[in-house]
Amino acid sequence: MTETIDAVTLVAGSAEGAAFVLSEPLSFWGGLDSATGAIIDQWHPQKGQIMSGKILVMKAGRGSSSGSSVLAEAIRRGTGPAGIVLMTRDAIVTVGAMVAAELYAIHCPVVLVAERDWRWITASGRLVLHADETGAKLHLLDGID
């Protein structure tokens, strides 16, 4: 079954990929290896997992404003997420994706979704994002029937 959810565009773009749902917030600064796309935060429960090319799904980011530069670098290298779904606005994550779009012309859409839709999104195996200045659509594939 395919569901479509309306979202708010934070950074425009289109992406498709496997959902990579974080069980806890992540700081990109000290938490992500931009060379490999691996989570390197020693205390994160998903340490060692790779987010490259996936749609990163997290309630919010965590931490340092320097995380924007790490995210932008990962996007530039092709080791970052293809897109990002947030439940809480996060300026650090948003700025990182905006910088990658502006400096490198590589788009990693970032969208904001409502809490009421969270369980559907996190249960989906694959996501398709389309985000522009008029709004965003998040298509849930391989999810709950």
What is the number of other CB atoms lying within 10 angstroms of the CB of residue 77?
A: 15
Residue 145 has pLDDT above 50, yes or no: no
CA–CA distance, 113 with 128 (Å, rounded to integer): 14
pTM for this predicted structure: 0.95
**Residue 93, phi-psi category: left (phi > 0), alpha (psi -120 to 50), beta (remainder):** alpha
Of the two residues 137 and 66, the one the predictor is more confident about is: 137
Of the two residues 8 and 145, the one the predictor is more confident about is: 8
Q: What is the CATH number of domain 3-141?
A: 3.50.30.10
Angle between helix axes 67-77 and 91-104 (nearest 10 degrees) is 40
Over the stretch 59-106, which tens digit does the pLDDT of each residue have?
998 877 889 999 999 999 999 999 999 999 999 999 999 999 999 999
Residue 1 has pLDDT above 70, yes or no: no
**Phi/psi at 52 (nearest 5 deg)?**
-50, 130
* 34 three-class SS: coil
Catalytic residues: 64
Average pLDDT for 11-37 = 96
Q: How far apart are the first and last CA of the chain?
A: 6
The reported pLDDT for the residue numbered 64 is: 73
